[in-house]
Structure 1
């Protein structure tokens, strides 16, 4: 916010100058009218005043335009910085956090939520200061000019913020519901789209369509309630401002009638009265426009407040490029010790060798991968690479040295080449082809309509499960990292696809230190050691059984 704050102060300063110019306009306009209608002056007598009035009008228009531009610039800079912070933080939190969230809701927060801050930042935030500053400028002029009118302005001005607070407290609850419904609808809609093929196969698409329609109708109802309150608020604020201006007009009119006030100052104050209430009325309008942004900001702050296990820091030492991976006495629980996943777990992966981690679902196999990647931290014990504790190395640099392939590879909307280059953005076309051939992916890629330039859709929707896995392996090969972690690389594949993946794995694992998490017995032929994880029979918690030497055994070759 440090680099964006000057834009906020510039916006406020421009608004304050606009108020000063408005005072000057009122003075010149009242003087022109007084000289023409009361003094009998002709055009030549007031020509200089009229030119000054036109100049002030142009200046005011320029200041208003500049204020809008600086407000938009402020919003643009803050949104860009905030979106980068959210995305960077989500990456640092890793898949362990993201798996517990609905992707549609996160996408709505990152994109729609940050975008909703536009009016809050560009209009409401500067207006909060201007609503106090601009009326004060007018009041400073009016009080010495006419103390009675200044007193009326001082007594009536607080009524607008008071009613704004009373109505806004009701609107806040509805706006929070509106944002929650919007996030829920986004998450539900994205889940439906991603699972549309499965829904069609099982004949459940019509039911989901009805659910989407119901949620949309609920969101529409809440939106109409918010708009109803916004219109009520606008009516109340306009009514209060009009009645306050009318009070000033009546008291000035009575004094004019009895000859206790001159025409020119009376007209000046009447012209300035609407200018006095205008910033307060605008605050009410922009308050409702910015409330959605405030609600979105609450969710964004909650994401940013989620602690990262160990934030990546270049201040720590660079990780070793080779060596053993070792876990000693590691205990870990996702919910602060209530349900331990691992207990006093020991594991050593010798440099250049491959270890398979097997066992039933829920015993902590994927948790071991998350611990090695630094996405979560153990409650007890230590993790080291090449003898250096993982807590002492820069996690960003460490993750660059690890090729991680999950059972559900992350593929994005874009071409095959763009998805592969996520591992190495500067990779040449030749390097892409070499990696794809090694992963057994080159044949099906060249069979696509545009080859490596073919768009594959979000999540690789145009590809089969085996093709997606081979692309993920090609990406891992392209990265050429010394450490490899594979999480169920052959899950949900038919035997033919699994055989192709095994062939690609041999190339990927050659000469690298690797951990494979698998349920597949056929993959055990590709590893050097097998670690068996089993749940305890007499407890609900899942722990590692035995010492490292008891759990490591030679796999059949």
Structure 2
């Protein structure tokens, strides 16, 4: 496979070569109709000046009308086919990317900022799709029209055809290359700025009320203004090169028409060209260069699409084949969860905690305590297999956790973090995340166990109650209890919970802890991150982490 990033990503669009070829053919035919219209119109005007019998001009008159109508119709058809092609491909690529993120290694997703995730799923996917309609198809059309125009001109005057070929090479190769080369530097420099700007904007919009109350909103607005100024400077630098490339493009265009005039008049004086043919020779270059007007933008888009494909590639890589669940030793189903000399942290950062040795048996519970920033949540994610160890290992039933397939880990270990996501859909669908075959009775029972029985009874839409984006339609305590309901519904033998009683009133928190304690009787192991000393005392053992 080619190592060019765009060539590796384009197949994910699922484009059919026949449809792409049809779009190119329609665009080429539309520009040929435009070029032929100019040439035939010039011939008709020159021939009519000789005052021949009107019947001699009838065919040319009909041809001009036909070309004028077909040019508009072919352009419209080309736009329809090309955009349908690109939009369908973008939809398939976006679905493929979401699927790859869902199935890929969790550390890769956990290490993404929200702004970067939006940029990958939004602008970068769109940029790859735009490579088809704004770059590859226009370049193929320009090549076809250029070759056809040179061939047509060679039929009348080979010398003028040679001059046109040189001009097309300069206008279609050198000028766009200058433009793309300049923008390459700007694109690489501005990519990080755009991602930072998007992350800052999301942070400002989603926490607008908090930022205004804290008085820090002007600080973030200042950061956005600085990013804008930086992008403006980069764009201005690229614009100077773009202007030079545009000047070269129009200079080559003018040179080709001038060469056609000089060579055409010389041929006319020698008797090698008629006056009518001279008009055709002069006007053909004008039509030929119409296809090249989009070349600077096409190469620029090709560059941007290549950079976008380079950013998307890591998320589209096929993960290594996982160990089949059936091949795993049976002790994985029982036994213990153990950390041996474990050091863990986020990808690209130093270890947040190290030297961890702990063991939790099924049917027992463990509290992870420590001050804020001591690495409790990081340790919990590592015990769940979401973050790979930096040192040491995690054992599940005597089997290293990295040897257990991801699907199997999800079946065995249910991890509910403090900021676990609630989807912008109904209560029922948010609970079905952990059990696809969930019945209404099971959902209601789980809600009651999580202390949401009274709240649920007040909801007129019941399980169809919308929770809003990230659970914004419910309170922090209700959000926490929905996550607890998910934990009750999980059939995993191990539950790893992050602050399960936070935002709960004392009575509800005590009931939740009683229910958690009852789960041990069914052979389920519990690992609970908590700041609450009462919660820690209610569990079988405590592992305290030192301050960071």
Q: TM-score range, shorter-chain basis?
A: 0.7 to 0.9
Taking the aligned partners of 1:219 and 1:446, their CA distance within structure 2 comes to 53
In structure 1, the partner of 2:413 is: 402
Q: 1:18 to 1:199 in 2, by over 3 A?
A: closer
Q: CA deviation at 1:153?
A: 1.2
| Aligned counterpart, 2:297 | 285
- The equivalent of 2:78 in structure 1 is 67
Matched, 1:261 2:273: yes
Superposed displacement of residue 399, structure 1: 1.5
Aligned to 2:7: none
Cα 1:325–1:93 change in 2 (3 A) is farther
Q: Quick one: distance in 1 between partners of 2:247 and 2:466?
A: 52
Shift of 1:285: 3.2
State the partner residue of 1:174.
186
Is 2:475 the partner of 1:464?
A: yes
Q: Which piece of structure 1 moves more, 144-153 or 240-249?
A: 240-249
Deviations 1:149-182 (A, max 9, x none): 1111122223222132223322333344444333
Q: Structure 1 residue aligned with 2:198, among 186, 197, 204?
A: 186
Is 1:126 matched up with 2:137? yes
> Structure 1: how far apart are the matches of 2:369 and 2:158?
86
Distance 2:415 2:284 in 1: 67
Higher mean alpha-carbon deviation, 312-321 vs 113-122, is at 312-321
C-alpha separation in 2, matches of 1:116 and 1:192: 26
Structure 2 gap ranges (5+): 1-9
Contact 1:92 1:311 in 2 (8 A): no
The alpha-carbon distance between structure 1 residues 484 and 159, as it changes in their structure 2 partners (threshold 3 A), is: same
2:261 aligned with 1:249, yes or no?
yes
Counterpart for residue 282 of structure 2: 270
> What is the number of equivalent residue pairs in this alignment?
532
RMSD: 3.9
- Contact 1:439/1:507 (<8 A) preserved: no
- Supply the distance in 2 between the matched residues of 1:343 and 1:290 (Cα, whole angstroms): 46
**Do 2:167 and 2:255's aligned partners in 1 also have CA atoms closer than 8 Å?**
no
CA contact (8 A) 2:182 2:238 kept: no
Task: Kindly indicate whether the alpha-carbon contact (under 8 Å) linking 1:484 and 1:514 is maintained by their aligned counterparts in 2.
Answer: yes
2:211 pairs with 1:204: no
- 1:159 and 2:170 aligned: yes
Judge conservation of contact 2:362–2:494 (CA < 8 Å) in 1: no
Q: SS state of the match for residue 158, structure 1? A: helix
What is the distance in 2 between the residues matched to 1:32 and 1:414? 66
SS in 1 for 2:337: strand
The Cα of 1:205 is off from its aligned counterpart by 3.4
Query: Following the alignment from structure 1 to structure 2, what is the Cα–Cα distance between the partners of residues 365 and 268?
Result: 79
Of 487, 499, 516, the residue aligned with 1:476 is 487
Matches of 1:98 and 1:492 in 2, distance apart?
A: 27
The alpha carbon displacement at 1:123 in A equals: 1.6
Superposed CA deviations along residues 480-534 of structure 1, whole A, max 9, x for unmatched, are 4333221232346664664454355446666223322333322235434444555
Q: Does 1:84 align with 2:80?
A: no
Task: Output one character per residue of 1:275-322: Cα deviation in whole Å (capped at 9) or x when no partner.
Answer: 3222322112334456554444343335557xx9x6574855487783
Q: Per-residue displacement from partner, 1:425-446 (whole Å, max 9, x unpaired)?
A: 5534433322211111232244
Confirm whether residue 487 of structure 1 aligns to residue 498 of structure 2: yes
**Conservation of the 8 A alpha-carbon contact between 1:143 and 1:149:** yes
More helix per residue: 1 or 2?
2
CA separation of 1:499/1:333 partners in 2, compared to 1, >3 Å: closer, same or farther?
A: closer
Contact 2:477 2:502 in 1 (8 A): no
State the SS of the aligned residue for 2:477. helix
Who is 1:370 aligned against?
A: 381
Pair 1:534–1:47, CA change in 2 (3 A): same
Give the 3-state SS of the residue equivalent to 2:119 in structure 1: helix
How far is 1:248 from its partner?
Answer: 1.7
Structure 1: gaps of 5 or more residues: 536-541, 543-557
TM-score, normalization: structure 1? Answer: 0.80
Q: Decide which moves more: 29-38 or 77-86.
A: 29-38
Is 1:18–1:60's contact at 8 Å kept on the other side of the alignment?
Answer: yes
Spell out the pairing of 1:441-460 with structure 2 (5 A cutoff).
Answer: 441-447=452-458, 452-460=463-471
Contact 1:473 1:508 in 2 (8 A): no
2:252 matched to 1:240? Answer: yes
Deviations 1:378-420 (A, max 9, x none): 4565545445554444313431453321022312333433433
